[in-house]
């Protein structure tokens, strides 16, 4: 489907082809393993027989090959079935995650504050707009006080967001809707005919946030007041380790803020927490991030979670704590690259903040 300005968004057929091709590729790799093991086993036997002039022991080759083939087919079926699920059901199997948190610095007026976070929308990847609409309805159903979006609204270009503007506009929270930019929002991964075209793309994206009612924080802060008490919402631009950009500026974002006031930081890349946030002079009670997607593949069960992305990111999914500061890394709402999710369902996260 084409967005309003002619930008090409994903379509169902293309996503199915890409996803299934990836599954077949992985299946073939796994199928080769039993045959490779069988061949490796035969190499030392061959040399042993050759050195000692021994006659090879007779084996029932058809039976053995049949056994190895069946094992290979069984192994290969796992990624095929997983891929079929991930590219059909898994990518839109939205989950609501509830996280209760208690803070000593939370003002009394905000006791019971309900905050919704969603992240990594990746508008250009969606191929079923009704499914996306159903996922976003989770947010309004929870009647949040505050909605926070933590980056990557689009894959590359602002035009991808056009089919979803009305949906995002319908999201409602009495204390406001705030957003930050993720690494994909800058459009750094696609070529432009001129610098002016790149600038116009960013300006179009800024207008999208404005049109949908989200206040975009680019190294800025805003105050939320209730019953005469205040908390700070701080939003930084993307800050990540190479090859990701480091546009975020915590010093600029916290200019003139008192250090003793409760604050929520929005920072797209969780690497930022360990490298700058925890050591910053301003204390952030809760930091919200996304970016990793949980690799869109893994296992998440009570008490244990695993994904290959854990070998790249120290903080890759879920809740982390350092003294009385928290970081939450969302698996995200959308998908990118592989058009599916296997074991890492998309999510909307609800925080209920309580005063200690």
Domain span including residue 19: 12-88
Q: What is the pLDDT of residue 137?
A: 95
Q: Is the pLDDT of residue 69 over 60?
A: no
pLDDT digits (tens, 9 = 90+) for 179-213: 999 999 999 999 999 999 999 999 999 999 999 99
In a domain, 251, yes or no: yes
78 pLDDT tier (thresholds 50, 70, 90): low
Q: Mark 255-264 as b/e (b = at least 16 C-beta within 10 Å).
A: eeeeeebbbb
Mean pLDDT throughout 289-297?
A: 97
Listing from the earlier edge strand, what are the strands of the sheet with 220-226?
A: 220-226, 229-235, 263-266, 286-289, 325-329, 318-322
Judgement on whether residues 323 and 215 belong to the same structural domain of the protein: yes
Judgement on whether residues 48 and 147 belong to the same structural domain of the protein: no
Q: Chain-wide mean pLDDT for the chain?
A: 88
Domain end point (choices 88, 116, 133)? 88
Judgement on whether residues 213 and 347 belong to the same structural domain of the protein: yes
pLDDT digits (tens, 9 = 90+) for 225-283: 999 999 999 999 999 999 999 999 999 999 999 999 999 999 999 999 999 999 999 99
Please answer whether residues 44 and 86 qualify as being in contact, where contact means their C-beta atoms are separated by less than 8 angstroms: no
pLDDT digits (tens, 9 = 90+) for 337-355: 889 999 999 999 999 999 9
| 70 vs 57: CA distance, rounded Å | 24
220: nearest Cα among 233, 208, 203, 239: 233
In a domain, 5, yes or no: no
Judgement on whether residues 56 and 157 belong to the same structural domain of the protein: no
Please answer whether residues 154 and 123 qualify as being in contact, where contact means their C-beta atoms are separated by less than 8 angstroms: yes
Judgement on whether residues 171 and 291 belong to the same structural domain of the protein: yes
115: nearest Cα among 348, 292, 323: 348
Beta-carbon contacts of 75 under 8 Å, excluding residues fewer than 6 positions away, are 30, 31, 33, 34
Domain end point (choices 53, 88, 123)? 88
Judgement on whether residues 79 and 107 belong to the same structural domain of the protein: no
pLDDT digits (tens, 9 = 90+) for 1-47: 444 443 557 766 767 676 656 666 565 565 566 556 656 766 776 66
Per-residue HEC secondary structure of the chain comes to: CECCCCCECCCHHHHHHHHHHHHHHHHHHHHHHHHHHHHHHHHHHHHHHHHCCCCCCCCCHHHHHHHHHHHHHHHHHHHHHHHHHHHHCHHHCCEEEEEEEEECCCCHHHCCEEEEEECCCCHHHCCCHHHHHHHHHHHHHCCCCEEEECCCCCCCCHHHHHHHHHHHHCCCCCCCEEECCCHHHHCCCCCCCCHHHHHHHHHHHHHHHHHCCCEECCCEEEEEEECCEEEEEEECCCECCCCCCECCCHHHHCCCCCCCCCEEEECCCCHHHHHHHCCCCCCCCEEEECCCHHHHECEEECCEEECHHHHCCCCCCEEEEECCEEEEECCCCCCCCCCCCECCCCEEEEEEEEEC
Domain end point (choices 71, 88, 105)? 88
pTM recorded for the entire structure:
0.86
Judgement on whether residues 100 and 50 belong to the same structural domain of the protein: no
Judgement on whether residues 224 and 314 belong to the same structural domain of the protein: yes
Ramachandran category for residue 213: left, alpha or beta (phi over 0 → left; psi -120 to 50 → alpha)? left
| 297 vs 306: CA distance, rounded Å | 9
| 232 vs 334: CA distance, rounded Å | 28
CA atoms within 13 A on the CB side of 200: 8
Our count of domains for the chain comes to 2
Please answer whether residues 236 and 208 qualify as being in contact, where contact means their C-beta atoms are separated by less than 8 angstroms: no
Q: What is the pLDDT of residue 154?
A: 97
Phi, psi (rounded to 5 degrees) for 288: -115, 130
Judgement on whether residues 188 and 274 belong to the same structural domain of the protein: yes
CATH, residue 158:
3.60.21.10
In a domain, 246, yes or no: yes
Judgement on whether residues 140 and 225 belong to the same structural domain of the protein: yes
């Amino acid at each position: 489907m084409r967005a309003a300005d002619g930008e090409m968004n994903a379509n169902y057929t293309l996503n199915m082809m890409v996803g299934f091709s990836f599954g077949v590729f992985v299946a073939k790799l796994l199928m080769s393993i039993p045959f490779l093991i069988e061949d490796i086993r035969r190499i030392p036997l061959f040399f042993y027989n050759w050195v000692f002039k021994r006659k090879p022991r007779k084996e029932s080759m058809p039976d053995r090959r049949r056994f190895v083939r069946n094992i290979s087919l069984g192994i290969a079926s796992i990624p095929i079935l997983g891929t079929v699920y991930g590219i059909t059901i898994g990518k839109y199997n939205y989950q609501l995650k509830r996280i209760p948190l208690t803070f000593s610095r939370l003002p009394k007026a905000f006791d019971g504050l309900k905050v919704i976070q969603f992240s990594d929308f990746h508008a250009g990847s969606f191929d079923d707009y009704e499914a996306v609409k159903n996922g976003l309805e989770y947010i309004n159903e929870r009647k949040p006080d505050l909605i926070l979006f933590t980056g990557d609204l689009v894959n590359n270009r602002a035009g991808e967001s056009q089919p979803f503007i009305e949906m995002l506009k319908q999201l409602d929270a009495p204390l406001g809707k705030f957003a930050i930019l993720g690494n994909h929002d800058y459009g750094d991964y696609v070529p432009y005919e001129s610098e002016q075209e790149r600038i116009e793309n960013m300006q179009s994206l800024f207008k999208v946030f404005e049109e949908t009612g989200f206040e975009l924080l680019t190294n800025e802060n805003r105050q939320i007041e209730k019953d005469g008490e205040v908390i700070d919402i701080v939003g930084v631009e993307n800050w990540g380790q190479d090859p990701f950009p480091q546009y975020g500026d915590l010093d600029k974002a916290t200019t003139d803020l008192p250090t003793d006031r409760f604050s929520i930081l929005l920072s797209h890349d969780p690497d930022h927490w360990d490298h700058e946030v925890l050591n910053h002079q301003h204390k952030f009670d809760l930091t919200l991030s996304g970016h990793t997607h949980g690799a869109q593949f893994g296992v998440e069960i009570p008490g244990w979670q695993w994904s290959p992305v854990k070998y790249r990111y120290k903080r890759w999914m879920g809740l982390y704590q350092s003294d009385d500061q928290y970081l939450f890394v969302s698996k995200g709402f959308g998908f990118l690259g592989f058009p599916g999710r296997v074991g890492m369902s998309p999510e909307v996260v609800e925080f209920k903040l309580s005063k200690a």
